[in-house]
Structure 1
Amino acid sequence: MTDCDEIPADHPRHDSLVTRHRIEAGVDAGITSRQGLIAQGRGEAFDYLLGEETIPSADRAARAAAATLLAAEHPVLSVNGNVAALVPEAMVQLAETVDADLEVNLFNRTEKRMAAIESHLEDHGAREVKGRNADARIPGLSHERAKVDADGIKAADVVLVPLEDGDRAQALSEMGKTEIVIDLNPLSRSAQVAAIPIIDNILRAVPRITDHARDLAKAGPEAIEQARTDFDAAEALDAAEARIRDGL
């Protein structure tokens, strides 16, 4: 298996190959489920159609997400197997920047996988990882993703749910959570129900949110509020769909 460091930086498929390697390594480490390989391939196809770049509407969404996380009383960043494999350090850095909790939430949940992801995040700098208590549930869901921590996602006012399942995204929205979704498909149910849909590759999106959060924290409350109120979710979704369909 090719190591990420062995992929030439000028390779035309560098980012894509790095992503594939991280998901593959995640499966080997027991972090990512085999179904995660399929999900990654589907997302990569959309990224190809987006030009494998952060389009302006996605950047505005990332800025709005940063502002919303900074303004939140109790923000939580949800982590699944693909997220843990792809951007563990970036998620830890974002959590520290916006003072958010990290919580592991899995569809294919086992104690072994939960422990592996928690340990993986801690290896990348996380001081505390929620999710294993599972002492609360998301109403309306019958599968393992309904299990959350009472002092984590259940109590959150803002939740970042990258690479989300549509049913849980909708259930969280119905709970009144302000939901930020990172999804490469603007037509997915997750993106459609999100207050802030970021149609971008997670490798680009999470560090971008962190950068915006640092800038906004320095700029102050007025800049944070402006970034929140200026964002239009429908406009962002339309712009992403136009890029995918027409290259515009």
Structure 2
Amino acid sequence: MHRFEAVGSTMDEARALAVAGAAEGSWVIARRQTAGRGRRGRSWWSPESHNGALYATVVLRPRLAPQRAGELSMRAALGVHEAAREIVTRAGGDAGALTLKWPNDLLAAGRKVAGVLIEGALREDAFDHVLVGVGLNVALDFASAPAEVQARATSLQALCGSPLDLSRCEDALLGALTRWLTGLAADAPNPVGEYTRCLDGLGAPACLRVGGEDVAGVLRGVRDDGALLLDTATGPRAVSYGEYG
């Protein structure tokens, strides 16, 4: 376990460990990131305070075939969802307000409370390592955040309406992610059923930006490989990579 009060990026620290041969289950944990990033290289806002967020990256060495990488994304999202449900339930909050936004954001009443970033390295036809990074808004004050962050983000503490202990939240997060991600055998079961049950917007209209094209339809679920399934005006469509409009 490698702990920092502040770090540029837990992903960068974990990558250095992985390249140096760190074992599966090696963690990098911080209370603040100065150069955190999300999917597609987007920056992750982090305030000066060290009191309201958890940032963690775990090194994995999965025996799953690289073609099953989408399952790792679903497993990571489910681990974060499980941890958040435990935290919120323990605090007497409404855990039913927690949903997953494809591919792996955690929402509370429709607003983002956590994000997951996954990066991997291959050696021949197998994973050398996979890094799974999570940023969880436990009790962040968004008063100093950019307007676009204030409009779409929230915290678990805001959902619960009572103070949360950051150390206990960390225990819940690391425990759930460990259960969902480590020690995966080549024949590990596909988690698509559990993931679909947690999916936000199931059966509702959705619009995604896919390679410069807007794809609109009704969200029907997720394929075994993690692709989003939409019923569009021209028929069913599977979207493996895209951004919500």
Whether TM exceeds 0.5 here: the answer is no
Q: Identify which of structures 1 and 2 has the higher relative contact order when contacts are C-alpha pairs closer than 8 Å and 6+ apart.
A: 1
- Normalising to structure 1: TM-score of the pair? 0.29
Whichever structure has more helix as a proportion of its residues is 1
- Normalising to structure 2: TM-score of the pair? 0.29
